[in-house]
Structure 1
Amino acid sequence: MRLPVFIRENTDRIIADWETFARTISTDNSPLTSLRLRDHIMAILAFIADDIDSFQSKTEQVEKSRGEKPHSLNTTAAEVHASSRHDDGYDMDQMVSEYRALRASIVKLWLAQKTGPSDTDVTDLTRFHEAIDQSLTESIRGYTVKLDAARNLFLGILGHDIRNPLGAISMSAQVMLRLGPSGEREKMMLNQIRDSTERANEIVTNLLDLMRSRLGTGLPISRTSIDVGSMGKKIVDEMRSMHPHRQFDIKLQGDLAGDWDQPRLEQVLSNLLSNAVQYGFTGTPITVGIAGLSDRIEMSVHNSGAPIPKEAASRIFDALTRVQVGETGEHNADTQNLGLGLYITKQIIVAHGGTISVTSDETGTVFTTILPRHAPVIPT
């Protein structure tokens, strides 16, 4: 009996055999009913049988073997199955294991009823494995979409809900500071509240920026005419007030006017300076250089500190990456950040059409940013 015919005529046997394995998978949710457990398996089996029977050219065969079959515009049964498994508490490995079990059940039952080999067996088995792999690919894609949506929803809720209480705490601390605390201890505690809420707000901002960049649309940029020199002085002054025992130098050169998103560039410089404070040797200066050239500006931040290992420099702008560089500066590098600052910094620079790079050796570490003076002209 041909394999596609066997699948159609023995669907109930195949599903019953497969369900025995599926029931061994445990999740944090309640055990699934038989109907819920089987959900879209019948439709997936129908797809497999039809796929084996369908005509396939040599080119299509090669494309499918490489996983390059065009993605259907319609949602497939395998994608819906994956979405249901995500909602039922299955992880990716458990969902994939279902396909391994389904593959084994079909082959085992089919071979058990055969009396001898036939000329079509190899072709049927080849097409069968291709069809199973195609369904598995679609399920993984569907599961990933569901996982991304859940993560983005979580980040969105986090960013929306946590900012209100943070704002209230920060405002209360600032009002009390203006009214004047009764003693130095109270003043120190209020300053700590203010600094901690600013830090928490920075974390939320970075998480939301990470979410936006992972959606593939890039970070939103709102360009206005600004002077980067004035912006640089403002951020350096803020860093001096936050770290009064550290030395910050800024050198400005040339025409520093252009069209950029000022809050975003302030975020870039603040991130780079915070990184320099964290990893630079205490007692050594941190230098900011901003130079205006004919069509661009170059902004650099230099600190003296332990060199970044070469193998780490290539991934320093990746999300959730924290580089170990031995001795650190003011803070403990393991606990002060989520590893998002440099990733977000690069995304902002890229959104402006610029580049950012890092060099690091015994003389210190320098982050260099190049920004086009104006937005690139997009051909119509």
Structure 2
Amino acid sequence: MRLADFILQNMEAIVAQWEAFAATLLPAAANMKSPALRDHAQQILQAVAKDLSTAQTREAQFEKSKGHAPRLIDAPETAAQTHAILRARSGFDIRQLAAEYRALRASILRLWMDECPRDELDMDDVIRLNEAIDQALAESLGHFSAQVEQARNLLLGMLGHDMRSPLQTIQMTASYLVALNAGENVTRAGSRLIRSGARMHALLDDLCDFNRTKLGLGINIAPTQVDLAAVFGDELDQLRTIHPDRRLRLAIAGECRGVWDGQRLQQMLGNLVLNAIRYGAPDTPVRVSVTGEDADVRVVVANNGAAIAPADIEQIFEPLKRGADHEEKYEEDSHLGLGLYIVREIVKAHGGEIDVRSEQGETAFSVRLPRNR
């Protein structure tokens, strides 16, 4: 008997073994009833049987074994994809999901071999089954990973949002302690709390922005008429207060007014300058130049110091990435590695472009911002 026919005729026996195995995947399956344990097993098996009955070239079979079967445009989710989403929501982990497919493959082959004489077993059917199961597994793993990542991002976003209120209370209390003028020790302790709270607030802002982009929402901007000379001048004044030992220079040329989100561009410049302070030579200035042109404004943040390795340049705007020598040189850094990623997303939200050049002891980030997008 051909394997496709065997699967369709023995559907209940195969699904029963699927259910029995799924029930052993604890703790997720502990309180699940039969319909939930079986989930989309029957639909997955029907798809496998249909695949086995469909004529395919060797090339098509090979691609399918890698999980690259062609998908129709605007086609609905497959049973394997829907199954993965439901398993993720039920608390299964990715190893348990993969184990279901391994067990399914073994159950089908074992029942088929027990039922049919050996001389009637077609080895090509075995190969085709492996390819079909691999394709279903690839579809499941892709959707499972996406579902888990989305849930994680939502959790982190809610956590970041909910932490703002107690953090604001801490900062307000610290400011009150400083204002009391109750002695040098109290004032010094309150000042430390204020600085630490500001760093935590910046980390939470980066975390919330990161989660917005990972959820497909992008960086939120509210464009208004903005004068970049004033906005950037104010940002550098604040950074000079925080880093009194560093020289920060600002050069303005041309018309620098346009329609942008001023607060977001302050955040962009702050991240670039802090990056330059963090990695640049401490005895050299960080140079910011803003040049107004006809259609856009160009912003360059440059610093002197060791050049960035080409391998690090390639991933410098990726989230949670740092240079190979970061941990060795900057053990006390407390940032998340999101600063340049947030910069890129802010620039992208404004319809602009950003690139980086690092050579001959100078690193420069160059941003182009359309004046009226």
Cα separation, partners in 2 of 1:328 and 1:122, compared to 1, 3 Å: closer
* Post-superposition offset of 1:106: 1.3
Is the deviation greater in 121-130 or in 335-344? Answer: 121-130
| Counterpart for residue 241 of structure 1 | 241
| Counterpart for residue 163 of structure 1 | 164
- The SS at the match of 1:171 is helix
Q: Distance in 2 between matches of 1:72 and 1:365?
A: 45
* Post-superposition offset of 1:19: 6.0
339, 342, 347: which one pairs with 1:341? 339
| Counterpart for residue 44 of structure 2 | 44
Cα contact 1:82–1:139 (8 A) shared by 2:
yes
| Counterpart for residue 365 of structure 1 | 363
Cα contact 2:60–2:69 (8 A) shared by 1:
no
Is 1:150 matched up with 2:148? no
Is 1:206 matched up with 2:206? yes
Cα contact 2:40–2:79 (8 A) shared by 1:
yes
* Post-superposition offset of 1:345: 0.4
TM-score normalized by the length of structure 1: 0.85
| Counterpart for residue 258 of structure 1 | 258
| Counterpart for residue 116 of structure 2 | 114
Cα separation, partners in 2 of 1:326 and 1:73, compared to 1, 3 Å: closer
Where in structure 2 are the equivalents of 1:74-113 lying within 5 Å?
74-113=76-115
* Post-superposition offset of 1:18: 5.1
| Counterpart for residue 69 of structure 1 | 71
Residue 90 of structure 1 aligns with an amino acid whose one-letter code is F
Q: Distance in 2 between matches of 1:240 and 1:40?
A: 61
Is the deviation greater in 200-209 or in 43-52? Answer: 43-52
Q: Distance in 2 between matches of 1:41 and 1:2?
A: 20
* Post-superposition offset of 1:244: 1.0
Cα separation, partners in 2 of 1:328 and 1:243, compared to 1, 3 Å: farther
Please list the CA deviations of residues 183-204 of structure 1 after superposition, one character each: whole Å capped at 9, or x if unmatched. 2322222122112112112111
* Post-superposition offset of 1:161: 0.8
Cα separation, partners in 2 of 1:342 and 1:180, compared to 1, 3 Å: same
Number of aligned residues: 369
* Post-superposition offset of 1:280: 1.8
Cα contact 1:82–1:142 (8 A) shared by 2:
yes
Cα contact 1:306–1:325 (8 A) shared by 2:
no
* Post-superposition offset of 1:52: 3.4
Cα separation, partners in 2 of 1:360 and 1:325, compared to 1, 3 Å: farther
| Counterpart for residue 182 of structure 2 | 182
* Post-superposition offset of 1:96: 1.7
- The SS at the match of 1:322 is coil
Is the deviation greater in 37-46 or in 288-297? Answer: 37-46
Where in structure 2 are the equivalents of 1:53-68 lying within 5 Å?
53=53, 65=64, 66-68=68-70
Q: Distance in 1 between matches of 2:45 and 2:29?
A: 26
Please list the CA deviations of residues 124-178 of structure 1 after superposition, one character each: whole Å capped at 9, or x if unmatched. 446534542343233224313421331132023112211111112222223443x
Q: Distance in 1 between matches of 2:31 and 2:104?
A: 18
RMSD: 3.1
- The SS at the match of 2:143 is helix
Cα contact 1:86–1:146 (8 A) shared by 2:
yes
| Counterpart for residue 140 of structure 1 | 141
Unaligned segments of structure 1, at least 5 residues = 376-380
Q: Distance in 2 between matches of 1:333 and 1:348?
A: 28
Q: Distance in 1 between matches of 2:327 and 2:13?
A: 64
| Counterpart for residue 5 of structure 1 | 5
- The SS at the match of 1:357 is strand
Percent of residue pairs bearing the same amino acid type = 37
Cα contact 1:302–1:365 (8 A) shared by 2:
yes
Residue 252 of structure 2 aligns with an amino acid whose one-letter code is L
Cα separation, partners in 2 of 1:163 and 1:315, compared to 1, 3 Å: same
Residue 102 of structure 2 aligns with an amino acid whose one-letter code is R
- The SS at the match of 1:294 is coil
TM-score normalized by the length of structure 2: 0.87
Q: Distance in 2 between matches of 1:202 and 1:357?
A: 24
| Counterpart for residue 378 of structure 1 | none
